[in-house]
């Protein structure tokens, strides 16, 4: 008998457009450094100025959820990250997240926060990227999502300049973000900005986690790494 909260996935409705499925080290967030399977969904409604995954805007291959699970299983990993693009732009992403959790994976979701988080399986760790002014997509932030964030989730800011930094500090204060989740500050890729951001955080004694994108230092922007 099917449980009340069980989602019935049929072959007809379980198709998802996938750009790539690959195995690598997690380059950021709380599980940085851990071997992880990445499932990159195709498509994104945003066009951030610093985007490094433009190749995921279109194309991809339509796969059944069962096919995605089988491809994931072959790596025998503990951690799985569903990313994009913007994964939640595809409605069946919710089914995929639940299916991965049901198989016992430690699942994280990387999202811009521009799409409603309602319905994301509570077992999933949400990593939500609040878009800063320099991204050119600040207007797409869906602040209602902050009410759906759990203490186990993470809120990320990509910092491009001093204005982004001050704006991000203001968002933390205005929305009491340090009480909602762990806060991540990530510099736009480049050594100079990274050093500046580290100095600013220390000067202000800010209660955030500074992070670099490990994968970019290991493999630059090579797709699938």
Using 50, 70 and 90 to split pLDDT, how confident is the model at 189? Answer: confident
Q: Provide the token pair at 139.
A: 């207007």
Q: Among 40-54, 91-105, 183-197, whose mean pLDDT is lowest?
A: 183-197
DSSP helix/strand/coil, 163: helix
What are the chain's domains? 15-218 (3.20.20.70)
Q: In terms of residues, how long is the chain?
A: 225
> How many angstroms separate the CA atoms of 169 and 120, rounded?
27
Q: How far is Cα 41 from Cα 82, in angstroms, rounded to an integer?
A: 7
| pLDDT of 162 above 60 | yes
Query: Mean pLDDT across the stretch 129-156?
Result: 96
Closest C-alpha to 96, from 21, 199, 163, 147 = 21
CA-CA-CA-CA torsion for 81, 186, 90, 1, nearest 10 degrees? 40
- Concatenated DSSP letters for 187-201? EPSSHHHHHHHHHHH
Residue with tokens 């610093």: 50
Q: What pLDDT is recorded for position 214?
A: 75
Phi, then psi, of 160 in degrees rounded to 5 = -105, -25
Quick one: pLDDT at residue 152?
96
pLDDT tens-digit series, residues 101-129: 999 999 999 999 999 999 999 999 999 99
Task: Encode pLDDT of 61-97 as tens digits.
Answer: 999 999 999 999 999 999 999 999 999 999 999 999 9
Average pLDDT, the chain: 91
Going by DSSP bridges, is the β-strand pair 61-64/209-210 parallel, antiparallel, or unpaired? unpaired
Using a 10 angstrom Cβ sphere, with 0-12 exposed, 13-18 middle and 19 or more buried, the burial of residue 115 is buried
Residue 173 burial by CB count (10 A; 0-12/13-18/19+): exposed, middle or buried? exposed
Q: What is the mean pLDDT of residues 33-44?
A: 96
For the entire predicted model, the pTM comes to 0.89
Element at 155 (helix H, strand E): strand 154-159
């Amino acid at each position: 008998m099917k449980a009340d909260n069980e989602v019935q996935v049929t072959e007809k409705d379980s198709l998802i457009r996938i750009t790539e499925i690959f195995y690598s080290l997690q380059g950021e967030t709380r599980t940085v450094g851990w071997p992880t399977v990445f499932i990159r969904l195709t498509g994104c409604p945003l066009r951030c100025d610093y985007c490094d995954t433009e190749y995921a805007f279109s194309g991809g291959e339509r796969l059944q959820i069962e096919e995605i699970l089988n491809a994931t299983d072959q790596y025998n990993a503990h951690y799985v990250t569903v990313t994009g693009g913007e994964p939640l732009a595809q409605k069946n992403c919710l089914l995929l997240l639940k299916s991965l959790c049901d198989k016992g994976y430690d699942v994280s979701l990387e999202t811009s926060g521009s799409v409603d988080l309602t319905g994301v399986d509570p077992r999933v760790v949400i990593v939500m990227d609040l878009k800063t002014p320099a991204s050119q997509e600040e207007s797409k932030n869906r602040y209602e999502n902050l009410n759906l964030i759990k203490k186990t989730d993470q809120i990320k800011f990509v910092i491009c300049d001093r204005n982004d930094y001050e704006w991000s500090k203001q968002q933390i204060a205005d929305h009491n973000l340090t009480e909602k989740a762990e806060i991540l500050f990530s510099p736009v890729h480049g050594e100079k900005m990274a050093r500046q951001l580290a100095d600013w955080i220390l000067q202000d004694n800010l209660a955030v986690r500074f992070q670099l994108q490990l994968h970019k230092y290991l493999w630059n922007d090579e797709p699938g790494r």
